[in-house]
Chains A and B, each alone.
Chain A
Amino acid sequence: MSATFPGTPGVPPRATERGTLRGARPFPAAAAASLHDGQLRRNLGHATATIRAKRAAVVAELPDWQHLRDAGAAIKADVMARLPQLLAELERNVTARGGVVHWARDADEANRIVVDLVQDVGRRTGTPVDQVVKVKSMATQEIGLNEALADAGIQAVETDLAELIVQLGNDTPSHILVPAIHRNRAEIREIFLREMPDVDPGLTDEPRVLAMAARAHLRRTFLAARVAISGANVGVAATGTLGVVESEGNGRMCLTLPDTLITVMGIEKVVPTWRDLEVFLQLLPRSATGERMNPYTTFWTGVTPGDGPQDVHLVLLDNGRTAALADEVGRAALHCIRCSACLNVCPVYERAGGHAYGSVYPGPIGAVLTPQLAGMRGHKDPVDSLPFASSLCGACYDACPVKIDIPSLLVHLRARHVEQERARRRTPTPEAAAMAAAAWVMGSGPRFAAAERGLAVGRLLARDGRISTPLPFPLSRWTAARDLPAPPPETFRAWWRRTRGGDR
């Protein structure tokens, strides 16, 4: 077991370092690079505008959308409150139907379990398994499963089109739903021509043609696969049923054809009853791809003799989720159903792109989920920069199908960062010093009035009502990235005295 976060006794451990939660650079540094990439910004602008319009149209079709959101939020809150019993119930029902349930405290343990299971198939059958097929899964991305399998000599073949583009391009995902959203059709064509050995050299960049190339590339792999690895969108406690929501049929291929199926699911993905799916199967497709329903959804309950995999495993993953659960406010981030609607409406995501967040979970939800799973270590930790990667405009909250109040969570995590910094440092940060000075000034009428009079100096620096010239340190920390409005010619107090204020 890894160490608990220093200074917080009783809080469960954060995610282990294996995996893809902690980026290499703080958000502002990473975003600066992507902001200068014109191609990336065009790709993202085009894709997010397309999906925003589609989502708005299909959401407007449902007069009971707000009621569905209320129900979705309440089901998730209920799940968190009853998590131990629901997980035990899920385990009991999966086991009763011939499935095997495993529990993983962290990424390393989950990876070990999966690698062992794959190798065990080889031992049992006398033929080692050197390749597995995968359905796109955030949980397995988060724990770095593909790398762990590669270390054991097992190739993980991503079968979702966008994941395949990322894998063939030796790239990392930049979106929860469409990991290759940062690539346009011409770039995808280039990757396919370079990386698919038997591709037609006359390949065009028409999306239909590119999709056909992916079909041809993976067809034989699917038909010969012995082991599949999936995530799960949902696990139903009362029945032991697991579900995967997808579009292409690669999910069905993986969930149906191989004899062994290993599913890695975060513990927060359980729901109490089958009936609860009537809420999520309306919220998720419309929020995610802007469709009334996604093309394919598969539900399976343990083993069905003669139909689909006969060797079925479920790995229940903690990896920092219980640490998130320990925060009464922050735990709402665990309600996320991974639809990506918050990414698609976020002005910061649209411009900075997913890679800038450094985590497998980018965008607004990533900015609140990642710090809670991975922990904020303070100061220069890239994870600490994520709650600040937002303008707090609130578009994410409006779009969230389960009503996660992301802006409030961002503010909550910013406060936690500030408190941790204060506890850790002997001298206050420049920001803390500025805030303390502001508190001193604003705490007294005469001091505030004096400060207001001083502001008039600022007008000397302004052009067209804005101060764009960099101010001297430490104010340069603020003006390096922002303009300031020029101070008004007259303060409120002066105006009050001059007009009605003096009459009373």
Chain B
Amino acid sequence: MSARDEILARIRTALGPAPAAGPVPRRYSVRGAHEPGDPALLDLLADRLQDYRATVRRCSPSALGATVPAALAAHGARRVVVPAGVDAGWLTFWDGEELRDGPDGTLPVATLDAVDGVVTGCAVAIAETGTLALDGSPACGRRAVTLVPDLHVVVVRADQVVASVPEGLARLDPQRPITLVSGPSATSDIELDRVEGVHGPRRLEVVLVAAGPAAG
């Protein structure tokens, strides 16, 4: 008997005839208190991210082309990687070097290791947990691009910000490679005390883009 068939047979024997479990009670909250993009959610997301020692900048869509370069300059970045799908307008006022990754050619790991940072969008952001989801779409780039460089600048649009983990996961397609990022890389391995900055990007800059406050 193959290992597969034997293990499956063992399980059936172990369970006995007609094993059944009741339905899964889902009484937990699936939707948060606020609709996606609500200003209260943007505040919550910013608070959670800062708690993880990420830096948060907020700007209007028209100021993005200056805010992203400012985030890069704050860390002295000169050479950055940008996935092919990133809007060129994000880097309007960037005077450093910009390396595009994809769609036709990808940068070798050594190049990713030598650049100062990377600028990407995200697929969805979860306010309650301060989580940014990357899904390999053109604006997020492939996984290595957001992993090897030491500085990651993520642009988050207001309409991408949801309240809860269930809302966030519902927006993601598990057939894509997904990375959930909640702050810069960190460890709690020494005396269960959290310190930021190990193997992943040690600095996380989040640019939150929302139209100016509504009149009234």
User: Within the assembled complex, what's the spacing in Å between the Cα atoms of A212 and B190?
Assistant: 12
Closest Cβ–Cβ distance, residue B32 to chain A (whole Å): 11
Residue of A63, A88, A207, A256 touching B147 (CB-CB under 8 A)? A256
In the complex, given contacts A103-B3, A105-B6, A257-B144, what are 18 additional A-B residue pairs having Cβ atoms less than 8 angstroms apart?
A11-B14, A12-B14, A103-B4, A207-B193, A208-B195, A223-B148, A241-B174, A247-B185, A248-B198, A249-B147, A253-B147, A256-B143, A277-B169, A282-B28, A293-B180, A296-B200, A297-B178, A306-B102
- Give bound CA distance, A214 to B29, whole Å: 40
Partner of A289, one of B48, B174, B190, B194: B194
Query: Complex Cα distance A178/B30, Å?
Result: 31
A149 within 8 A of B: no
- A279 contacts the other chain (Cβ, under 8 Å)? yes
16 residue pairs from A and B, CB less than 8 Å apart: A74-B21, A74-B22, A88-B8, A161-B190, A188-B190, A214-B199, A223-B113, A281-B169, A292-B129, A293-B131, A295-B182, A295-B185, A299-B179, A304-B176, A306-B106, A326-B13
Kindly state whether residue B130 has any CB partner on chain A within 8 Å. yes
Complex contact B7–A103 (CB within 8 A): yes
Q: Considering the complex, give the chain B residue whose CB is closest to the CB of A220.
A: B113
Is there a chain B Cβ closer than 8 Å to A420's Cβ?
A: no
Note all chain B residues with C-beta closer than 8 A to A308: 142-144, 177
With a cutoff of 8 Å between Cβ atoms, the chain A residues found around residue B200 in the complex are: 248-249, 252-253, 295-296
Give CA–CA (A160, B199) in the complex, Å: 10
B106 to chain A, nearest CB (A): 7
Q: Which of A102, A207, A239 contacts B174 (CB 8 A)?
A: A239
Most chain A CB inside 10 Å of its own CB: which residue of B7, B128, B193: B7
Asked if A50 and B193 sit within 8 Å, CB to CB, the answer is yes
Tell me which residues across on chain A come within 8 A of B23, comparing CB atoms. 74
> Are B11 and A84 in touch, CB under 8 angstroms?
yes
Given the complex of chains A and B, what is the CA–CA distance between A70 and B21 in angstroms? 13
Nearest opposing residue in chain B for A161, CB measure: B189
Tell whether A275 is near chain B: CB-to-CB under 8 Å.
yes
Considering only residues 296-344 of chain A, those with a C-beta below 8 Å from chain B are: 296-301, 304, 306-308, 316, 318, 322-323, 325-326, 331
Instruction: Decide: B21 and A78 in contact? CB cutoff 8 A.
Output: yes
Tell me the B151-186 residues at the A interface (CB within 8 Å): 165-166, 169-170, 174-186
Pairwise interchain contact B7-A184, C-beta atoms closer than 8 A: no
Q: How far is the CB of A481 from chain B (nearest CB, A)?
A: 30
Residue of A nearest to B143 (CB): A256
Which of B2, B8, B170, B180 sits near A297, CB closer than 8 Å?
Answer: B180
Measured CB to CB, the residues of B under 8 A from A are 2-4, 6-8, 10-15, 19-30, 48, 52, 102, 106, 109-110, 113, 126, 128-131, 136, 142-144, 147-148, 165-166, 169-170, 174-201
The 0/1 profile, CB within 8 Å of B marked 1, for residues 435-449 of chain A is 000000000000000
Contacting pair A211 B169 (CB below 8 A): no
Nearest CB in chain B: distance from A281 CB, A: 5
Nearest-neighbour CB distance to chain B for A222, whole angstroms, equals: 7
Do A307 and B136 contact each other (CB < 8 Å), given the known contacts A77-B22, A104-B3, A161-B190? yes
- B163 to chain A minimum Cβ distance, whole angstroms, is 12
A residues 207-245 with Cβ under 8 Å of B?
A: 207-208, 210-212, 214-215, 218-219, 222-223, 236, 239, 241
* Pairwise interchain contact A184-B191, C-beta atoms closer than 8 A: yes
Q: Which of A68, A70, A295 contacts B184 (CB 8 A)?
A: A295
Find out whether the CB atom of B179 lies under 8 angstroms from the CB atom of A215. no
Q: Is the CB of B189 within 8 A of A180?
A: yes
Chain A interface size range:
35 or more
A247 touches B8 (CB 8 A): no
A294 adjacent to chain B (CB < 8 Å): yes
Instruction: Give Cα distance in the complex from A195 to B189, angstroms.
Output: 18
Instruction: Determine whether the beta carbon of A74 is less than 8 Å from that of B193.
Output: no
Q: Quick check: is A51 within 8 A (CB to CB) of the other chain?
A: yes
Mask for A64-95, Cβ within 8 A of B = 1, else 0? 10011011001101101111100110010000
**Residues 360-378 of chain A: 1 if any B CB is under 8 Å from the residue's CB, otherwise 0?**
0000000000000000000
B24 to nearest A CB, angstroms? 4
Whether B166 pairs with A247 at a CB distance below 8 angstroms is no
Contact A296:B144 (CB < 8 A) given known A207-B190, A223-B110, A281-B169: no
Among A189-214, those with CB < 8 Å from B are 207-208, 210-212, 214
Chain A residue with Cβ nearest B179: A298
User: What are the 8 A-B residue pairs with the smallest beta carbon separation, nearest first?
Assistant: A249-B200, A249-B199, A326-B14, A248-B198, A322-B10, A293-B129, A278-B166, A249-B185
Contact of B191 among A185, A215, A219, A293 (CB under 8 A): A185
Chain B residues with Cβ below 8 Å from A184 are: 191
Nearest residue, chain B, Cβ from A206: B195
Chain A 245-274, CB-CB to B under 8 Å as 1, else 0, gives: 001111011011100000000010000001
Q: A47 to B174, alpha carbons, bound, how many Å?
A: 36
In the complex, what residues of A have CB within 8 A of residue B10's CB? 12, 318, 322
CB distance from A15 to the nearest CB of B (A): 13
